[in-house]
Amino acid sequence: MKKNTFSKKFWIYTALYVLSCVSICCLPALLTSGSVIDFTETGQIGDTIGGIMGPVVAMIAAYLTFIAFWVQKQANEAQRQDIKVERFNANFYNLLNIHEQITSSLEFTDLRKNITYRGRELFRYTFELVWEYNQKGEYVAKGMRGRINTSGMESYADSNTPTYFDHYFRNMYRIVKFVEETDVFDDLPQEEIDKKKYEYVSILRSTLSRYELVWLFYNTLSIYGKAKFKPLVEKYALLNNIRVELLVNQEDVKEFDAKAFGGQYPV
């Protein structure tokens, strides 16, 4: 990240310093003109001017040394900032890679059909197709859609199906929380900080399939994500581009702030 080498305060101090030097340079003419104090009878004029100008030269040399140290200090700070950004990027993309591995490792075998569902296809299967049983061993609902449609959001916590995605949602929350809590951009204006963080979370959102967004929608409405994850989902518009026709009830979008969908509710 690039930073300005010289700040506004630096230029103010520089202007004051230059003004002081100019004032000192004018002293020989002022002091030898007789208008204030008459030095024309005090020996060689050159001695007088040399005595006055000597400190000016020394001050200029000292100032140039100060500039050299200032530039080096600013360069060191910029380098440290660049290292912080690089470290943040490395950690972020490492978390993103872990999340992709978690997603790819998801697996469930439907023994009735003798079909194994893996990775992202499992989200659609568990939401739309899998049959669930009650304690009597009877089919009670087809997928999480059937459960929510029949018994409401309370049935989400009563189902074993969300436990398949516990690790998945914990890691997703960790990624968003990591971006939310970073101080790597704190030298920027608040508006720029928010924009940077939004861009990083948008990278995560771009990896989500349509049924991952549906599961995220209901997970953050449930007791598992409502307190901690839902505010972050809203802040970073993680449900933007969700396919509302896949929801059990499209009116449920009103359970979220419109920010969760990019600023306006989907239609």
User: In which band, very low, low, confident or very high, does the pLDDT at 1 lie, cut at 50, 70 and 90?
Assistant: very low
Q: Under a CB-based contact definition with an 8 Å cutoff, are residues 31 and 39 in contact?
A: yes
Which amino acid, 137? G
What mean pLDDT value characterizes the chain? 83
Q: What is the pLDDT of residue 177?
A: 97
CA distance 76 to 69: 10
Residue-wise pLDDT for 175-229, tens only, equals 999 999 999 998 889 999 999 999 999 999 999 999 999 999 999 999 999 999 9
In the structure, what pLDDT confidence band is assigned to residue 257 with cuts at 50, 70 and 90? very high
pLDDT band at 32 (very low <50, low <70, confident <90, very high): low
pLDDT band at residue 174 using 50, 70 and 90 as cut-offs: very high
Q: In the prediction, which pLDDT does 150 show? A: 87
Kindly give, in sequence order, each residue whose CB lies less than 8 Å from that of residue 239, ignoring residues fewer than 6 positions away: 213, 216, 217, 233, 256, 260, 261
CB distance 115 to 174 below 8 Å: no
pTM for the model: 0.72
**Position 161: which residue type?**
T
Q: Is a pLDDT exceeding 90 seen at residue 141?
A: no
Distance separating alpha carbons of residues 66 and 62, to the nearest angstrom: 6
Model pLDDT for residues 105-129, shown as the tens digit of each residue = 999 998 878 899 999 999 999 999 8
pLDDT at 6 over 80: no
| Most confidently predicted of 11-25, 63-77, 239-253 | 239-253
Residue 225 CB-density burial (10 A; 0-12 exposed, 13-18 middle, 19+ buried): buried
Alpha-carbon separation of residue 159 from 121, 165, 206 (angstroms): 19, 12, 28
At 89, which amino acid appears?
N
Mean pLDDT across 71-79: 70
- Domain coordinates of the chain in residue numbers? 8-79, 106-261
Residue 40 has pLDDT above 60, yes or no: no
E strands, 17-121, in order: 107-110, 115-118
**Whether the Cβ atoms of residue 171 and residue 199 lie closer than 8 Å to each other:** no
